[in-house]
């Protein structure tokens, strides 16, 4: 998917919501556990109910790998279901990969070619030759971890290195990578106060912003400095939407939570 197609979808739906599919068998409604593939059944119901309110879905790969081959099959069925039934949706493999060049190429093939995701999250720690193999894929997006939502972000990312914070080096250096136009960045919603500095370095890039909902991040704070001329934000909520209820009404409860966020986004977009 091109960035332009993503932007068009955002304006059409008046939403820049991404729903995180972090499926945990201990949290989904009990009646689904009797099904042949409970994870896929859960995802399918959530996607069918919320696809008009969201522009993207982000399965966190750990939640599938945790169930071995079965989990990987559920992931494959989920991404195929989206790509066949809702091809306009932007898909993110939240895999947080990155390794020496030839290994990164194999990760890229796994997520961009075999599973046909539109994008993948990547850790920048191993540098240019670990990131560029992902950037080589046309119309695929590499979402680099810049300033993450967790407390551990302060261990390294905000440390001063040669006069500026490490995350700023990540933003600046990555802009010179080959095919850098395929880059997006992760900035946690809990770090909204850093966004005006971040936008000075990468005014045009899309940001994936997790941490709204369960982690306490605030949508208005993120939008205040995070929005750009093409919106430039994908706000992710996982647990806050998909586990709104663990009863028979789980899909309707997810719609209610997604609608609250979409309405707030519509208001922000129309007042922009
Ligand atoms: O890359 C991510 O998506 C990510 C980066 C980050 O800094 N913080 C963060 O929470 N995430 C992911 O975003 C999702 C947040 O989930 P909730 O807190 O349940 O909305 C999880 O899948 C996290 O792994």
pLDDT recorded at residue 91: 98
Supply the mean pLDDT for the chain.
Answer: 97
Residue-wise pLDDT tens digits, 164-196: 999 999 999 999 999 999 999 999 999 999 999
Q: What number does the ligand 1 atom closest to the CA of 92 have?
A: 3
Q: pLDDT at residue 157 above 90? A: yes
Q: pLDDT at residue 272 above 80? A: no
Query: In this structure, is the dihedral angle defined by the CA atoms of residues 254, 234, 189 and 41, taken in order, positive or negative?
Result: positive
Which domains does the chain possess? 3-270 (3.20.20.70)
Using a cut of 0.90, tell me whether the model's pTM lies above it: yes
pLDDT recorded at residue 214: 85
| 189 Cβ closer than 6 Å to some ligand 1 atom | no
Residue-wise pLDDT tens digits, 202-220: 999 999 999 998 899 999 9
Mean pLDDT of 241-253: 97
pLDDT recorded at residue 31: 97
Residues in the chain: 272
Q: What number does the ligand 1 atom closest to the CA of 236 have?
A: 20
Quick check: is 96 catalytic? yes
Q: How far is the CA of 210 from the centre of ligand 1 (A)?
A: 5
* Conformation bin of residue 217: beta by default, left when phi > 0, alpha when psi is -120 to 50: beta
Q: Which of 14, 73, 96, 256 is catalytic?
A: 96
Q: How far is the CA of 211 from the centre of ligand 1 (A)?
A: 6
| 128-135 vs 101-108: helix crossing angle, rounded to 10 | 30
pLDDT recorded at residue 56: 98
């Amino acid at each position: 998917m091109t960035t332009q197609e993503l932007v068009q979808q955002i304006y059409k739906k008046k939403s820049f919501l991404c729903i995180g599919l972090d499926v945990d068998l201990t949290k989904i409604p009990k009646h689904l556990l009797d099904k042949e593939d409970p994870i896929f059944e859960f995802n399918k119901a959530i996607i069918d109910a919320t696809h008009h309110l969201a522009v993207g879905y982000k399965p966190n790969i750990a939640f599938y790998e945790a169930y071995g081959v079965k989990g990987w099959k559920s992931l494959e069925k989920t991404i195929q279901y989206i790509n066949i039934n809702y091809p306009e949706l932007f898909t993110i493999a939240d895999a947080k990969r990155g390794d020496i060049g030839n290994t990164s190429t194999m990760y890229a093939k796994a997520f961009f070619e075999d599973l046909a995701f539109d994008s993948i999250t990547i850790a920048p720690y191993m540098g240019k030759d670990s990131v560029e193999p992902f950037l080589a894929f046309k119309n695929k997006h590499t979402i680099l971890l810049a300033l993450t939502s967790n407390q551990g972000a302060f261990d390294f990312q905000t440390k001063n290195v040669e006069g500026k914070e490490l995350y700023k080096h990540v933003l600046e250096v990555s802009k010179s990578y080959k095919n850098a136009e395929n880059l997006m960045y992760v900035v946690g919603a809990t770090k909204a106060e850093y966004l005006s500095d971040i936008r000075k370095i990468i005014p045009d890039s899309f940001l994936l912003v997790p941490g709204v909902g369960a982690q306490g991040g605030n949508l208005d704070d993120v939008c205040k400095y995070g929005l750009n001329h093409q919106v430039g934000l994908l706000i992710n909520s996982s647990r806050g939407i998909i586990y709104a209820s663990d009863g028979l009404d789980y899909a309707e409860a997810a719609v209610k939570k997604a609608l609250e966020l979409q309405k707030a986004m519509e208001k922000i977009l129309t007042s922009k």
